[in-house]
């Protein structure tokens, strides 16, 4: 063996020895650091920043609940969102929810994905702080076009860990048309739900089905009816309405209806049904003159219980008489706000004496979306605004979410996903006159919830970003080929206060409801669960 | 084709046939056996021996609970450890817990790792048999230095499967300093937890937060307080005290205090607070004359509710008056036992009329640890012992756990992780004189709980083994470069009765609390969960087991 070989061997041995020493001394350190990095793979920066579940500011829980309990929501559990979208008017205003970020400085968003999967997740509601209810299994995705469901689940509000899950159906076995459903917590803590032609009561503590009863579909074939809409009247009566599917339409999910409508298929007419909230006995049924694919709202008109329904070509008012237990149409209040080429009105919104409706709920290739405000005491008093101007040739207008409204600040919000914009509109509550306050570029299919007290309100808007910028929007939406974020905005100007990372798409036309302690939930069917989001002032450098 | 080739082909076909037949006959057995071996990969021999969850001796559950319910622990849920460390004195004595091994023959340890992960697990308490509560998420580890938490969780006491988990904070979003927290079950079954400057009541059945309040930070900036210490007075009032983080220190975890203090940063003074256990209303609070990093204990002295507090340079008594709802410092009972070069006392310990304090709670590079006892009636009556002699040059003394004590057997225990020894010390309860009973080589940062009745007391000591024997202990400790076992010892002599395998490190300064049915829990933050351990007499060879 020559000298050079001996030296090489000695050096080699030394290196091996050094490596062994390094491993023995730093083994746990290296392993731990590798593990730390591995744990971050696939996470967005918001998730990496959170590094775990987000309880929010727990010191706010009791304060927010107490604040909410001062706001009457008869029939609903008194909590941040015992009702599907805030209250029976589906107002989307959550004055007791908190924005923890800075209104005038930089903010940081933190995110946590639910510990468990919730396929086809649609709505999320809060009961007591810590208690989250989830309805899912009824939004088809490309990966799961006929999900088993619907189901109701209870989850930990911080970790998203499932506590129980109760399935009600499975379209693969039952063959039923499963459309988007609903989620409302009754004042006694149980949940009233419906799907297809069934109404049911579920124990909010255990998930046990307490009662189930059949709902009448009216002129629609039962197989083409889905009682998606449930709103509770001030006397606690459940007011149901069905979405109907064209007779020849085989598509599943509510998106199935939209696709069939866009293919020119005709919908059967809808019905309104009044149901006892304790026995689920059907108290009355009223056949509507048109299909009504979007939700109705319930509010008071002087001393009467009024139900406003947006339909394919009209917006109409109905009454529920709790004494006579009868539903009736108000022939004196019906408007036909659609201009040529426009499609269905979405759920109406109440802003003082005005009923506001968003048009093009099912989309239009001919006319831009508009907002119509109608006086509740005189249907002839009507104001219209096209916040985004006229539709350009080749353009597409699609505005499925109802108009957001902030009566205390005289603001209406309009989102047109097809046109890629959201507008804030100032409404003069005396004259009904509407003026555009701002228009921002924002692509969203969902509601525009408002959180916080009147003078510190924050507007929540999701915003979609196509994976392929040049892909037609509707193709991207139907194939889930995009990502979506949540933005927190100044509701007077639309200015962004905070914006999250882009996650899997939000469930179409769903809500990003607030949670206790300054949190917001972001349900995503494609992502099979939900994100818990929290905004905080951006820490100074060096944190 | 030649005859020879034909024969070869026939033999080959026969072999294949035999293999196919063997597979068809034994395929499931082979698969199952392979599965069985695969399931054992990565398990220690104690886990392999247990081969599943350990319920312990279920016939003991009711007996142990009944035994415990005869021992008054006012304010605390009456169970094996409704209190964080046995009771308001943090005695660490669990007379109703059982040692199911042999006291004079060979034993075998069985182990099961919790089915679910509990990152940063720190304390484990028992409510009813079967019900385990865990506090975690507040113990930084190398792979998760800023973990979400603290959280409280309820788990199955045998499988370690999570039943619920309630997160209380996430420092990454809130920016709060999260130090080690606490875990105590109230007499009504609910749980009270304090962290940072906040306190909550948690429904122990559901995990729901029932109440919340903010606690006063006194002289310290709010961002630098951690109400780690919560002890319940006999009238049910919650007595809390904060650990304070040195001014300018931005590190996380309780270890921030040790690291920043070592760099010469100054801690603000601590605050002592009395809180209503039902409403969480702050009844009274006083500023302490010094920072007090270690827990306080509560006992009664001449009919009064006495609070003994170890501070940076002294041990002082305070009183809680349930009639006037006032806290007060007792200026007549102060001892200053710290020798030059020594550091803060750990939580005091009661042994008859004497208060014992372990010194070098946050370490010393110059002076060995000592144990001092002072009379409750006359603080000038003091006795001191240096159980491990003097500190040699280059050595490190670090004794974070409080002294274990066994008043019934007049024993005090002292553990110095830096000096790698544990001592059993006999105390003359008349004179306070201290004499060494034994010293064993044992490296442990944690308490020295005692289980079993007076005449069959067993001492539980963890014991660390460095991955690199020659690595300085301090570095190994802070880089988690070691493994740790639990030993069951004769409390009189220190003789090992049983010893477990070496697992991931125990949560530093955590407790290995007893469970029902002869079990012990071993929480490990690095291991993201806990081990359920049980000792049984070693099966004889003839039994074939």
Is pLDDT at B389 greater than 90 in this prediction?
Answer: yes
pLDDT tens digit sequence for B479-500? 899 999 999 999 999 999 999 9
Q: Would you state the pLDDT for residue B335?
A: 97
Residues of chain B with Cβ-Cβ distance to A128 below 8 Å are 208
Q: Would you state the pLDDT for residue A462?
A: 97
Residues of chain A with Cβ-Cβ distance to B164 below 8 Å are 156, 163
CB of B532 closer than 8 Å to CB of B160 = yes
Q: Residue A22: which pLDDT band, with cuts at 50, 70 and 90?
A: low
Taking the C-alpha atoms of residue A286 and residue A270, their distance in angstroms, rounded to an integer, is 9
Indicate yes or no: CB of A536 within 8 angstroms of CB of B174: yes
B16 or B421: whose pLDDT is higher? B421
Q: Residue B15: which pLDDT band, with cuts at 50, 70 and 90?
A: confident
Q: Residue B34: which pLDDT band, with cuts at 50, 70 and 90?
A: low
| Interface residue A50 vs chain B (CB under 8 A) | yes
| Interface residue A55 vs chain B (CB under 8 A) | yes
Q: Residue B38: which pLDDT band, with cuts at 50, 70 and 90?
A: low
Closest CA to A345 of A274, A417, A292: A292
Sign of CA dihedral B215, B221, B222, B227: negative
Q: Residue B25: which pLDDT band, with cuts at 50, 70 and 90?
A: low
Mean pLDDT of chain B: 93
Note whether ipTM > 0.95 here: no
Q: Would you state the pLDDT for residue A475?
A: 86
Indicate yes or no: CB of B175 within 8 angstroms of CB of A539: yes
Shortest CA gap B74–chain A (Å): 28
Q: Would you state the pLDDT for residue B24?
A: 66
Nearest by CB: A27 against B148, B166, B467 = B467
Is pLDDT at B544 greater than 60 in this prediction?
Answer: no
pLDDT tens digit sequence for B396-419? 999 988 999 999 999 999 999 999
Q: Residue A542: which pLDDT band, with cuts at 50, 70 and 90?
A: very low
Q: Would you state the pLDDT for residue A321?
A: 98
Give me the mean pLDDT over the B342-352 stretch.
Answer: 93
Indicate yes or no: CB of A156 within 8 angstroms of CB of B143: no
Q: Would you state the pLDDT for residue B545?
A: 43
Supply angle C-alpha B260, B261, B267, rounded to 5: 100
Residues of chain B with Cβ-Cβ distance to A49 below 8 Å are 172-173
Residues of chain B with Cβ-Cβ distance to A539 below 8 Å are 175
pLDDT tens digit sequence for B448-466? 999 999 999 999 999 999 9
Indicate yes or no: CB of A130 within 8 angstroms of CB of B166: yes
Indicate yes or no: CB of B172 within 8 angstroms of CB of A49: yes
Which of A44-53, A476-485, A518-527 is predicted with the least confidence, judged by mean pLDDT? A476-485
**DSSP string over B143-182:** TBTT----EEEEEETTT--EEEEEE---HHHH--------
pLDDT tens digit sequence for A263-285? 888 889 999 999 999 999 999 99
pLDDT tens digit sequence for A83-105? 999 999 999 999 999 999 999 99
DSSP character at residue B82? S
Q: Would you state the pLDDT for residue B22?
A: 66
Residues of chain A with Cβ-Cβ distance to B206 below 8 Å are 130
CB of B81 closer than 8 Å to CB of B74 = no
Shortest CA gap B13–chain A (Å): 47
Nearest by CB: A51 against B148, B162, B175 = B148
Q: Residue A251: which pLDDT band, with cuts at 50, 70 and 90?
A: confident
Nearest by CB: B172 against A29, A110, A163 = A110
Indicate yes or no: CB of B165 within 8 angstroms of CB of A156: yes
Q: Would you state the pLDDT for residue B327?
A: 98
Taking the C-alpha atoms of residue B275 and residue B279, their distance in angstroms, rounded to an integer, is 8
Q: Among residues of chain B, what percentage have pLDDT more than 90?
A: 83
pLDDT tens digit sequence for A111-163? 999 999 999 899 999 999 999 999 999 888 888 888 899 999 999 999 999 99
pLDDT tens digit sequence for B266-277? 999 999 999 999
pLDDT tens digit sequence for B163-196? 999 999 999 999 999 999 999 999 999 999 999 9
Indicate yes or no: CB of A51 within 8 angstroms of CB of B169: no
**pTM of the model as a whole:** 0.89
Which of A297-311, A465-479, B459-473 is predicted with the least confidence, judged by mean pLDDT? A465-479
Taking the C-alpha atoms of residue B229 and residue B240, their distance in angstroms, rounded to an integer, is 5
Q: Would you state the pLDDT for residue B92?
A: 95
Which two structure tokens, joined as six digits, stand for A273? 């049904």
Indicate yes or no: CB of B148 within 8 angstroms of CB of A50: yes
Residues of chain A with Cβ-Cβ distance to B481 below 8 Å are 25-29
Residues of chain B with Cβ-Cβ distance to A39 below 8 Å are 143-144
Q: Would you state the pLDDT for residue B69?
A: 95
A36 or A333: whose pLDDT is higher? A333
CB of B518 closer than 8 Å to CB of B98 = yes
Residues of chain B with Cβ-Cβ distance to A534 below 8 Å are 173
Q: Residue A35: which pLDDT band, with cuts at 50, 70 and 90?
A: low
Taking the C-alpha atoms of residue A405 and residue A395, their distance in angstroms, rounded to an integer, is 26
Nearest by CB: B167 against A36, A53, A61 = A53
Q: Residue B13: which pLDDT band, with cuts at 50, 70 and 90?
A: confident
Sheet containing strand B354-358, edge to edge, reads: B349-351, B354-358, B371-375, B382-385
Residues of chain B with Cβ-Cβ distance to A110 below 8 Å are 170, 172-173
State the count of interchain CB pairs (< 8 A) between A and B: 111
Nearest by CB: A52 against B142, B147, B175 = B147
């Amino acid at each position: 063996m020559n000298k050079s070989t001996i030296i090489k061997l000695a050096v080699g041995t030394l290196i091996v020895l050094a490596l062994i020493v390094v491993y023995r001394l730093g083994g746990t350190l290296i392993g731990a650091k590798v593990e730390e990095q591995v744990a971050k793979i696939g996470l967005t920066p918001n998730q990496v920043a959170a590094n775990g579940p987000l309880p929010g500011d727990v010191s706010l829980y009791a304060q927010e609940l107490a604040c909410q309990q001062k706001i009457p929501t008869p029939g609903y559990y008194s909590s941040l969102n015992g009702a599907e979208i805030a209250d029976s008017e589906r107002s989307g205003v959550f004055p007791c929810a908190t924005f923890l970020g800075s209104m005038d400085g930089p903010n940081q968003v933190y995110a946590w994905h639910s510990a468990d999967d919730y396929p086809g997740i649609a709505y999320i509601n809060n009961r007591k702080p810590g208690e989250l209810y989830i309805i899912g299994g009824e939004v088809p995705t490309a990966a799961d076009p006929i999900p088993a469901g619907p189901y109701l689940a209870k989850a930990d509000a911080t970790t998203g860990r499932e506590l129980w899950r109760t399935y009600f159906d499975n379209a693969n076995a039952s063959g039923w048309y499963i459309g988007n459903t609903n989620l409302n917590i009754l004042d006694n803590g149980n949940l009233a739900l419906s799907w297809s032609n069934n109404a049911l009561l579920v124990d909010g503590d255990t998930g046990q089905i307490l009662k189930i009863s059949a709902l009448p579909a009216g002129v629609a074939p039962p197989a083409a009816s889905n009682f998606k809409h449930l709103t509770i009247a001030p006397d606690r009566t459940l007011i149901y309405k069905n979405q109907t599917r064209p007779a020849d339409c085989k598509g599943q999910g509510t998106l199935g209806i939209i696709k069939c409508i866009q293919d020119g298929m005709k919908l059967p007419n809808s019905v309104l049904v009044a149901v006892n909230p304790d026995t689920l006995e059907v108290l009355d049924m009223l056949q509507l003159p048109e299909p009504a694919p979007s939700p109705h709202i319930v509010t008071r008109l002087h001393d009467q219980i009024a139900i406003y329904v947006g339909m394919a070509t009209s917006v109409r008012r109905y009454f529920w008489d709790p004494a006579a237990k009868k539903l009736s149409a108000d022939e004196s209040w019906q408007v036909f706000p659609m201009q040529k080429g426009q499609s269905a009105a979405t759920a109406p919104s109440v802003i003082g004496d005005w009923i506001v409706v968003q048009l093009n709920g099912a989309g239009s290739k001919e006319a831009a979306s508009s907002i119509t405000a109608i006086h509740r005491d005189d249907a002839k008093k009507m104001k219209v605004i096209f916040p985004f101007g006229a539709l350009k040739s080749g353009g597409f207008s699609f505005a499925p979410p109802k108009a957001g409204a902030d009566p205390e600040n005289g603001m209406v919000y309009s989102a047109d996903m097809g046109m890629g914009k959201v507008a804030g509109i100032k409404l003069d509550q005396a004259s009904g006159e509407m003026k555009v306050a701002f228009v921002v570029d924002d692509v969203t299919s969902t509601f525009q919830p408002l959180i916080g007290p009147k003078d510190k309100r924050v507007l929540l808007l999701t915003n979609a970003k196509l994976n392929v910028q040049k892909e037609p929007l509707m193709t991207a939406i139907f194939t889930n080929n995009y990502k979506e974020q949540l933005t927190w905005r100044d509701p007077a100007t639309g200015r962004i206060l905070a914006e999250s990372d882009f996650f899997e798409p939000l469930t179409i036309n769903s809500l990003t409801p607030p949670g206790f302690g300054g949190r917001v939930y972001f349900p995503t069917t494609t992502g099979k669960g939900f994100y818990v989001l929290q905004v905080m002032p951006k820490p100074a450098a060096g944190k | 084709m030649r005859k020879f080739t034909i024969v070869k082909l026939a033999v080959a076909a026969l072999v294949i046939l035999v293999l196919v037949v063997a597979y068809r006959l034994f395929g499931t057995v082979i698969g199952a056996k392979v599965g069985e071996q695969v399931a054992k990969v990565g398990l220690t021999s104690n886990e392999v021996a247990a081969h599943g969850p350990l319920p312990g001796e279920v016939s003991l559950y009711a007996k142990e609970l009944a035994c415990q319910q005869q021992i008054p622990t006012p304010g605390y849920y009456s169970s094996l450890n409704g209190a964080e460390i046995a009771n308001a004195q943090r005695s660490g004595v669990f007379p109703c817990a059982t040692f199911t091994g042999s006291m004079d023959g060979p034993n075998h340890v069985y182990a099961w790792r919790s089915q679910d992960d509990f990152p940063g697990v720190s304390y484990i308490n028992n409510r009813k048999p079967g019900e385990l509560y865990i506090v975690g998420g507040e113990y930084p580890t190398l792979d998760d230095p800023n973990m979400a938490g603290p959280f409280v969780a309820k788990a199955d006491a045998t499988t370690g499967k999570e039943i619920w988990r309630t997160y209380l904070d996430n420092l990454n979003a809130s920016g709060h300093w999260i130090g080690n927290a606490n875990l105590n079950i109230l007499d009504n079954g609910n749980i009270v937890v304090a962290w940072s400057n906040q306190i909550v009541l948690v429904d122990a059945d559901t995990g729901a937060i029932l109440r919340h309040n903010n606690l006063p930070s006194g002289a310290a900036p709010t961002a630098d307080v951690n109400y780690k210490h919560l002890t319940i007075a006999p009238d049910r009032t919650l007595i809390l005290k904060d650990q304070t983080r040195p001014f300018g220190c931005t590190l996380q975890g309780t270890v921030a205090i040790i690291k920043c203090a070592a760099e010469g940063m100054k801690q603000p003074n601590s605050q002592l607070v009395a809180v209503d256990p039902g409403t969480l209303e702050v009844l009274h609070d006083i500023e302490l004359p010094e920072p007090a990093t270690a827990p306080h204990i509560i006992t009664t002295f001449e009919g009064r509710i006495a609070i003994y507090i170890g501070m940076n340079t002294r041990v002082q008594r305070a009183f809680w008056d349930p009639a006037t709802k006032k806290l007060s410092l007792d200026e007549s009972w102060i001892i200053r036992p710290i020798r030059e070069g020594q550091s803060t006392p750990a939580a005091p310990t009661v042994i008859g009329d004497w208060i014992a304090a372990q010194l070098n709670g946050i370490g010393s590079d110059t002076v060995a640890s000592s144990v001092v006892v002072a009379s409750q009636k006359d603080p000038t009556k003091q006795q001191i012992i240096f159980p491990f002699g003097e500190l040699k040059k280059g050595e490190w003394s670090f004794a974070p756990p409080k002294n274990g004590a066994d008043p019934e057997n007049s024993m005090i225990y002292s553990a110095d992780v830096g000096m790698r020894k544990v001592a059993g010390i006999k105390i003359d309860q008349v004179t306070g004189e201290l004499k060494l009973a034994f010293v064993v080589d044992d490296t442990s940062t944690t308490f020295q709980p005692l289980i079993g009745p007076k005449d069959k007391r067993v001492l539980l000591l963890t014991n660390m083994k460095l991955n690199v024997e020659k690595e300085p202990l301090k570095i190994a400790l802070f880089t988690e470069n070691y493994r740790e076992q639990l030993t069951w010892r004769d409390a009189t002599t220190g003789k090992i009765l049983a010893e477990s395998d070496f697992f991931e490190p125990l949560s530093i300064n955590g407790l290995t609390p007893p469970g029902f049915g002869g079990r012990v829990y071993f929480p490990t933050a690095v291991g993201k969960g806990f081990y359920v351990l049980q000792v049984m007499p070693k099966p004889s060879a003839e039994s074939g087991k």
